[in-house]
Amino acid sequence: MGIENPTLAHFRHFSSLFTNLPSTTVKSSLQIRLFMQNEPNFRKSQMNVNKVLTKDYEKRTLGERGKNEPKTNPNEPNFKKAKMKVTSYITKDYENISNWAIYENEPNSNPNEPNFKRDDGDCHVAEFTLSAAEGGLAMTFRAAFLQNMSVLVVLLILHIFCPAGQAALKGGCAKVNITPPLGIPLIGSKGQPSDDILDELYAKAMVLNDGNTTVAIVSADLLYTPLEEITNPVREIIKEKTGIPEQNVLICATHTHSGPEVFARLKVPSKGRMPASEIDRAYLQMLTKKIAGSVLIAHKNMREVKIGAAKGEIPEILYNRRPRSADGSVKMAFTLPAEVTATKKIMTGPEGRMKVTFAFPDEETGLDFGPIDAEVCVLKVEDMNGGIVGSLVNFGCHPVCIYPYLSTAISADYPAYAVQVVEQMEGGICLFALGLAGDTVPVRRGIKPRQQIGKALGGEALKRLQLVTTTGSATLKALKKEIKFSTKKTPSPDGTVDDDKTKDYVTTEIQVLRLGDIYILGLPGEILVEVGYQIKKGAGLENLFIITLSNDAIGYVCHSQAYEEGGYEPGSGTNLAKGAGEIMIKEALNIINQMKQSK
């Protein structure tokens, strides 16, 4: 069954106002003509008026009307001056009111005068004007009818071509410092206390409201934002303080490896995990409140905004660390020597997949590097004067420039410099959200490369922000779904299996936010590029942001082939069983399609 054109539906509705009026008995088309053209002949004081709109009625006599004088035009009424100027009478439900009533008229000698018989139904709307101005002629019923019809036509046109405006889009951004005190152990410090601060750590929030729905995106300079330890407690505070539903709040980690170790990490392999008894609970409690606080501030400071998205790319700064040997097995390459990185080449493989290759010594010439996702997605929020309120940069590469070289130094790694470039040059608050970084790392590491990579990424984001087309009309929606992944039952190809895992599956969630034609997909865990590519291909969306390590930490999410190839990610890097990547692809596409179909 086809869907009726909205314009025709509006016209049909307005037409019904005239074709479906309650019946006031009219005997013939002649009566209609006469009623519209000729002098009404109602019995005095027997017309029932539900509402009388008058001007200057004080000290005047209601209903004082003289006899008509002879007329030169028999088709126009000629009323004698009265002491009351009646602008409009609107009759309705006349039967139940005692003052005036339209009643059966007495026989008259003028066959052109209307003679209506009283009807038991309502006179739905009858409007006419009597003017008692000296020397003026009373407006005929026909003129009043045509005048009102003109008003209705204007309203119809405005309704069709100028529909009721959507509430103005509002937005706000804020950041809160979450840097831990020195002495707290870090992710990569192996239990050693932190002793330096290279970068301050922040929780940054972006909140948007379309008049009906409010959504919030939070980015925190942490390794993870586990569902039970960080995400759910933060969402509860936000809901209590602002009313934003939990499914409308996305909380992601930038994945710095130089941040505080404050998680039990229950869904990832236990190797290297800090005992729960050693976690700094006081800092963890403060951390959740501060993360929530960033949303509260952004929510409080919302103003009318416009949003838009753009894409760029920067393949020069990363590579896939899972090169395959001639026999198909993976030989992990977490870092590369300077003489090898100097041979870097950027290539485009099948289906447009980009990859970075290197020339190795003769004995290693058979290494085949996998794909990278060099895409830089930017989201811009600006006020109505074009000034930037905030932005979001989505890019996929492990933030491990500092780790493990300065393992006791607190740092936000290269994302700190990327957002700093945007904030200093463009203004506003800039959030970093990790993309498809499961098997990609920086080409170079260290303090100086951290700055260079960050500035290069920030420069690309800054460039694209200049070219964003924004709109103040965007409907906001959010969906969240619980999903489960089976865990390993047998050792991985590298012989590893988590000894203390007790559950046969891991329960987590995926989420999608829709900002007009911009889709933001939040996925838990570290997603390999090969898995993410299938999601992007299947989704078929121009503006799709895939934010990984969103709302939970479940380890690496690998495609089935990776389990055959071996290596760190499908081995000791995850508890998830083979097939996890395919489950993620299916569930991600399902929730995206569900969002597409929502209205």
- pLDDT grade for 273, boundaries at 50, 70 and 90: confident
pTM value? Answer: 0.74
pLDDT digits (tens, 9 = 90+) for 222-247: 999 999 999 999 999 999 999 999 99
Instruction: Between 93 and 587, name the one with better pLDDT.
Output: 587
Instruction: Between 258 and 265, name the one with better pLDDT.
Output: 258
In angstroms, the CA 7 to CA 242 distance is: 38
Q: CB-based contacts of 458: which residues, under 8 Å, 6+ apart?
A: 393, 417, 418, 419, 420, 421, 422
- The residue type found at 340 is V
Strand order in the sheet with 86-91: 51-54, 86-91, 126-130
Residues of 89-105 as b/e, b for ≥16 C-beta within 10 angstroms? bebeebeeeeebbbeeb
pLDDT of residue 48: 45
In angstroms, the CA 441 to CA 455 distance is: 16
- The residue type found at 587 is E
Concatenate the DSSP letters of all residues of 95-118 into one string.
GG-SS----PPPP-S-TTS--PPP
**In 3-state terms, what secondary structure has residue 460?**
helix
In angstroms, the CA 230 to CA 292 distance is: 10
User: Where is mean pLDDT largest: 187-196, 231-240, 267-276, 345-354?
Assistant: 231-240
pLDDT digits (tens, 9 = 90+) for 124-143: 333 333 344 444 444 444 55
Cα 440 to Cα 311, 332, 355, distances in angstroms? 19, 11, 10
**Section 163-171 average pLDDT:** 75
pLDDT digits (tens, 9 = 90+) for 502-515: 589 999 999 999 99
- pLDDT grade for 271, boundaries at 50, 70 and 90: confident
The least confident of 210-224, 450-464, 487-501, 584-598 is: 487-501
Residue 241 structure tokens? 């303080």
Ranges of each domain in the chain:
6-161, 170-597
**How much of the chain, in percent, has pLDDT values that exceed 70?**
69
Runs of H (alpha helix) within 264-405? 281-300, 338-341
